[in-house]
């Protein structure tokens, strides 16, 4: 039944993608794809809820095999849950031009590639899916951006970084296949060199794909330039599928990892969480800002995985399972609100033509449906109760709090530091999204385009409102998924299913009650305040008139933090003034916060690579004579090696 629904969903997606290529069936094709995605979502969550395995099991041999189990089901559910509204959004967002139809068909291909990774049960299919889920978005960006030179450069960077990192994924999967450990059929000895090699290469390879700092450089460049529905799939689902691989390898197949590796994962997660949100704060382009926030949220998920690994190594199996459930719950939640925010950004871009954050403003009044949904998404990503981001952040905080409880001094203090980092991240996310909400939705429109913005057509609004409702539902009833997520741990662990999160050893999170109390109290206080008869008055600016020039900008609002973190962030600023005849003519100010990891780590590597290439090019002369010399040299070296007994 579930299997049939899944196959039907995947075929509908494929057929819809093919149908949409025909100009007159463009919209119908996208709707069919959306219906297929909805089928995938239902089948996936059903497989998660019933904990049944369909199809074949995992194998280490290189024979194509397909199947679904609980963990695959969860991520298939996420895939469908995000793809369906994104495709409904596409029906009116994409135009039935050649380019639009190509993007529509490629979206279907992207969904199928992601599903391939999740349903693969052998190393070869897994790696094939892994590569195609990297390549398809690159093609989408190239198609949608056409001849844009910078976009091509970005796609090149994206492919270079993810393929260099991706090599480590191959190493990890092939080592596992060689040891026969895929599917956990053979146990890898704890603390062995093989285990460490697999774990490290999985962290590098899959971490690159998930956008974990310091391997994230491709993400904030590639995500924003894709069309919004594809950005939503990239941030919402593709990163999650990479994390799915990480969970499979680190938690399921690679045995019980040593404590130090768990601490390393915690460190990487904390760096991504704090680093992602700090750079997002100083970003002025809405989609780039959202992409940087994906790094933050991936960091939070990785913190949950790290807590799981440390707790497992310390023998606290129940809390290790809770930590894993926290990470997986945040996967679902982040997918929902990040897709909502990317689609919302798409709706704004469609209405205004620009996403520079200082040139929007007042959109809540102009676009109440899209703006309201975006506001819900912003509050959810900021981790405010009673929305879904809060529930999974709460659970992750609890998991991190249990690291010092079961650990030694060193890993305990590491857990406490990660706890503090997550708390700071939550506060920074509030800071960042207050800024976004304020500049995009509130206040007066900052440009004529913003003042004339209009609500998008119904399918776009419907997709946004659906995702906003999902944020509320997952926030009010996070416990519905919790029981199933805990039992996904490959060791015995169980938790009851409630509406809220009832976790032993905590004060528990009665999420539905919190929502009722907060909404009820707010309503009561509004009623108590009575009818507002308010006299209008100008805003107070020390007696000045509030002119557009006095309006606060993104850079101004975040200046306090920039000054505090100056020693770490090294912001650059430049003030130049022109004077003529002793009279000041104009003053120009420019400031930016450079990304230190790029400037300090990648630039030098890049320069060294170019220098090495200059030298390497001398070998490549193009004259046949030189190549013959190379060949003769090689033969001599080989003969000498055989003679000396090095080879052969």
Partner 1 sequence: MSAASAASAAVEVLGGIALAPLLPGLVQHWKARLQGRRGPTPLQPYRELRRLWGKSMVDPEGAGPVYRLAPAVVAAALAGGVLLVPVAGAAPTLGLGHDALVLLGLLALARFAVAAAAWDVSNGFSLMGASRDLMLSVFVEATFVLSLAVGLLVAGTTDLRGVVAGTAGAGVWGNPALALGTVAFAFVAIAETGRQPVDSPDTHLELTMIHEGPLLEYAGRDLAYLHWAAAARHWLVLVLAAQVFLPHPRGVWAQLAVLPVTLVALCAALAVVETLLAKMRVLLVPRLLAVGAAAALLGIAAWIAGSA
The reply to whether 542 sits near partner 1 by the rule CB under 8 A is yes
In this chain, which of 494, 517, 601, 639 binds partner 1, going by CB under 8 A? 517
Q: Minimal distance in Å, beta carbon 565 to partner 1? A: 9
Q: What length is written for the chain?
A: 648
Nearest residue to 124 (alpha-carbon basis) of 79, 66, 62, 178: 62
Q: By C-beta, is 541 or 631 nearer to partner 1?
A: 541
Q: Minimal distance in Å, beta carbon 621 to partner 1? A: 58
Q: What is the DSSP letter of 250?
A: I
Q: Minimal distance in Å, beta carbon 408 to partner 1? A: 7
Q: Give the H or E element holding residue 371.
A: helix 368-381
Q: By C-beta, is 83 or 401 nearer to partner 1?
A: 401
Contact predicate 341/441, CB 8 Å: no
Nearest residue to 330 (alpha-carbon basis) of 426, 265, 254: 426
The reply to whether 641 sits near partner 1 by the rule CB under 8 A is no
Interactions with partner 1, residue window 564-593 (CB under 8 A)? 564
Residue with the two structure tokens 């057929």:
15
The reply to whether 514 sits near partner 1 by the rule CB under 8 A is yes
The reply to whether 284 sits near partner 1 by the rule CB under 8 A is no
Distant-in-sequence, close-in-space partners of 332: CB < 8 Å, separation ≥ 6: 74, 77, 78, 81, 388, 392, 474, 481
Peptide bond into 517 cis (omega under 30): no
In this chain, which of 58, 66, 75, 433 binds partner 1, going by CB under 8 A? 433
The reply to whether 532 sits near partner 1 by the rule CB under 8 A is yes
Distant-in-sequence, close-in-space partners of 403: CB < 8 Å, separation ≥ 6: 266, 307, 310, 311, 411, 412, 414, 415, 416, 418, 419
Joined together, the tokens standing for residue 345 give 């950004």
Q: Minimal distance in Å, beta carbon 518 to partner 1? A: 6
Interactions with partner 1, residue window 242-281 (CB under 8 A)? none
Contact predicate 262/410, CB 8 Å: no
The reply to whether 409 sits near partner 1 by the rule CB under 8 A is yes
As a whole number of angstroms, the distance between CA 126 and CA 220 comes to: 26
The reply to whether 407 sits near partner 1 by the rule CB under 8 A is yes
Q: Minimal distance in Å, beta carbon 399 to partner 1? A: 11
As a whole number of angstroms, the distance between CA 522 and CA 648 comes to: 81
Q: Minimal distance in Å, beta carbon 425 to partner 1? A: 9
Q: By C-beta, is 564 or 587 nearer to partner 1?
A: 564
Q: Give the H or E element holding residue 592.
A: strand 583-592
In this chain, which of 444, 494, 587, 612 binds partner 1, going by CB under 8 A? 444
The reply to whether 448 sits near partner 1 by the rule CB under 8 A is no
In this chain, which of 146, 149, 193, 534 binds partner 1, going by CB under 8 A? 534
Peptide bond into 214 cis (omega under 30): yes
Inter-axis angle of helices 70-93 and 98-119, nearest 10: 170
Q: By C-beta, is 22 or 552 nearer to partner 1?
A: 552
Q: Minimal distance in Å, beta carbon 320 to partner 1? A: 18
As a whole number of angstroms, the distance between CA 326 and CA 330 comes to: 6
The reply to whether 596 sits near partner 1 by the rule CB under 8 A is no
Contact predicate 635/627, CB 8 Å: no
Q: Minimal distance in Å, beta carbon 264 to partner 1? A: 19
The reply to whether 439 sits near partner 1 by the rule CB under 8 A is yes
In this chain, which of 20, 404, 456, 459 binds partner 1, going by CB under 8 A? 404
3-state secondary structure 120-148: ECCHHHHHHHHHHHHHHHHHHHHHHHCCC
Contact predicate 158/148, CB 8 Å: no
The reply to whether 546 sits near partner 1 by the rule CB under 8 A is yes
In this chain, which of 530, 543, 581, 648 binds partner 1, going by CB under 8 A? 530
Q: Minimal distance in Å, beta carbon 382 to partner 1? A: 6
Pairing of strands 54-55, 67-68: antiparallel
Helix (H, G, I), strand (E, B) or coil at 303: helix
Rounded (5°) CA angle 525-531-532:
95
The reply to whether 499 sits near partner 1 by the rule CB under 8 A is no
- Output the DSSP codes for 209-241: HHT-TTS-TTHHHHHHHS-HHHHHHIIIIIHHH
Pick the piece of the chain touching partner 1 (CB under 8 A) from 121-129, 174-182, 487-495, 520-528: 520-528
In this chain, which of 97, 560, 577, 579 binds partner 1, going by CB under 8 A? 560
As a whole number of angstroms, the distance between CA 500 and CA 606 comes to: 49
Integer angstrom CA distances of residue 357 from 213, 412, 441, 447, 460: 25, 41, 10, 11, 21
Query: How many residues lie near partner 1 (CB under 8 A)?
Result: 81
Interactions with partner 1, residue window 362-391 (CB under 8 A)? 364-365, 379, 382-385, 390
As a whole number of angstroms, the distance between CA 387 and CA 610 comes to: 48
Q: Minimal distance in Å, beta carbon 534 to partner 1? A: 4
Strands (E), 1-110: 54-55, 67-68
In this chain, which of 493, 508, 594, 597 binds partner 1, going by CB under 8 A? 508
The reply to whether 550 sits near partner 1 by the rule CB under 8 A is yes
| CA-only gyration radius of the chain, Å | 26
Q: Minimal distance in Å, beta carbon 345 to partner 1? A: 18
Q: Minimal distance in Å, beta carbon 330 to partner 1? A: 15
Helix (H, G, I), strand (E, B) or coil at 593: coil
Q: Minimal distance in Å, beta carbon 389 to partner 1? A: 10
The reply to whether 539 sits near partner 1 by the rule CB under 8 A is yes
In this chain, which of 63, 164, 189, 423 binds partner 1, going by CB under 8 A? 423
Interactions with partner 1, residue window 286-315 (CB under 8 A)? none
Neighbours of 197 (CB within 10 A): 14
In this chain, which of 434, 449, 451, 480 binds partner 1, going by CB under 8 A? 434
In this chain, which of 4, 63, 186, 420 binds partner 1, going by CB under 8 A? 420
Q: By C-beta, is 151 or 327 nearer to partner 1?
A: 327
Q: By C-beta, is 50 or 506 nearer to partner 1?
A: 506
Q: By C-beta, is 412 or 490 nearer to partner 1?
A: 412
The reply to whether 604 sits near partner 1 by the rule CB under 8 A is no
The reply to whether 610 sits near partner 1 by the rule CB under 8 A is no
Q: Give the H or E element holding residue 273.
A: helix 259-281
Pick the piece of the chain touching partner 1 (CB under 8 A) from 168-176, 491-499, 532-540, 583-591: 532-540
The reply to whether 239 sits near partner 1 by the rule CB under 8 A is no
Q: By C-beta, is 101 or 446 nearer to partner 1?
A: 446
Joined together, the tokens standing for residue 469 give 């409702």
Residue 573: left (phi > 0), alpha (psi -120 to 50), or beta? beta
Q: Minimal distance in Å, beta carbon 365 to partner 1? A: 6
């Amino acid at each position: 039944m579930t299997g049939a629904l899944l196959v039907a969903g995947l075929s509908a997606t494929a057929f819809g993608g093919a149908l949409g290529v025909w100009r007159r069936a463009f919209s119908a094709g996208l709707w069919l794809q959306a219906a297929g995605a909805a089928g995938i979502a239902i089948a996936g969550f059903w497989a998660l809820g019933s904990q049944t395995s369909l199809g074949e099991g995992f194998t280490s041999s290189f024979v194509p095999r397909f199947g679904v189990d609980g963990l695959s089901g969860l991520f298939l559910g996420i895939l469908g849950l995000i793809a369906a509204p994104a495709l409904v959004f596409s029906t009116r967002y994409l135009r039935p031009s050649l380019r639009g139809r190509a993007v529509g068909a490629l979206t279907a291909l992207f969904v199928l590639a992601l599903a391939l990774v999740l349903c693969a049960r052998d190393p070869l299919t897994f790696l094939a899916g892994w590569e195609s889920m990297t390549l398809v978005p690159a093609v989408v960006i190239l198609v949608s951006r056409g001849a844009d030179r910078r976009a091509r450069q970005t796609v090149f960077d994206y492919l270079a970084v993810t393929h260099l990192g991706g090599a480590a994924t191959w190493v990890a999967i092939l080592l596992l296949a060689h040891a026969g450990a895929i599917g956990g059929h053979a146990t890898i000895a704890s603390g062995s060199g093989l285990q460490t090699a697999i774990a490290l290469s999985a962290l590098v390879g899959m971490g690159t794909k998930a956008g974990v700092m310091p391997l994230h450089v491709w993400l904030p460049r590639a995500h924003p330039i894709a069309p919004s529905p594809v950005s939503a799939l990239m941030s919402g689902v593709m990163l999650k599928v990479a994390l799915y691989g990480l969970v499979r390898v680190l938690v399921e197949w690679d045995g019980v990892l040593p404590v130090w590796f768990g601490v390393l994962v915690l460190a990487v997660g904390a760096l991504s969480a704090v680093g992602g949100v700090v750079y997002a704060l100083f970003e002025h382009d809405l989609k780039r800002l959202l992409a940087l926030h994906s790094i933050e949220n991936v960091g939070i998920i990785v913190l949950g995985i790290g807590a799981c690994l440390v707790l497992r190594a310390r023998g606290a199996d129940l809390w290790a399972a809770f930590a894993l459930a926290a990470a997986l719950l945040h996967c679902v939640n982040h997918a929902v609100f990040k897709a909502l925010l990317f689609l919302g950004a798409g709706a704004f871009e469609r209405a205004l033509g620009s996403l520079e954050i200082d040139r929007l403003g007042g959109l809540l009044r102009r676009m109440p449906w899209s703006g309201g949904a975006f506001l819900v998404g912003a509050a959810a990503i900021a981790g405010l109760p009673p929305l879904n981001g809060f529930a999974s952040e709460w659970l992750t905080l609890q998991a991190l709090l249990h690291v010092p409880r079961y650990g030694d001094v060193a890993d305990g203090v590491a857990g406490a530091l990660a706890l503090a980092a997550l708390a700071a991240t939550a506060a920074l996310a509030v800071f960042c999204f207050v800024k976004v909400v304020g500049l995009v939705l509130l206040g007066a429109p900052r440009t004529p385009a913003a003042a004339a913005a209009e609500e998008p057509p119904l399918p776009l609004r419907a997709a946004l409102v659906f995702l906003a409702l999902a944020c509320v539902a997952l926030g009010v009833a996070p416990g519905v998924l919790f029981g199933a997520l805990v039992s996904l741990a490959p060791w015995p662990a169980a938790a009851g299913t409630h509406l809220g999160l009832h976790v032993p050893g905590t004060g528990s999170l009665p999420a539905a009650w919190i929502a009722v109390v907060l909404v009820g109290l707010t309503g009561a206080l509004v009623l108590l305040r009575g009818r507002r008869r308010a006299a209008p008055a100008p805003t107070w600016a020390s007696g000045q008139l509030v002119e557009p020039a006095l309006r606060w900008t993104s850079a101004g609002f975040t200046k306090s933090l920039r000054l505090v973190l100056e020693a770490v962030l090294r912001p650059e600023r430049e003030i130049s003034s022109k004077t003529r005849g002793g009279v000041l003519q104009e003053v120009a100010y420019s400031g930016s916060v450079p990304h230190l990891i790029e400037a300090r780590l990648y630039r030098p590597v890049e320069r060294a690579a170019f220098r090495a290439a200059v030298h390497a090019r001398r070998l490549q002369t193009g004259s046949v004579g030189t190549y013959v010399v190379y060949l003769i040299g090689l033969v001599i070296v080989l003969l000498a090696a055989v003679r000396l007994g090095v080879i052969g």
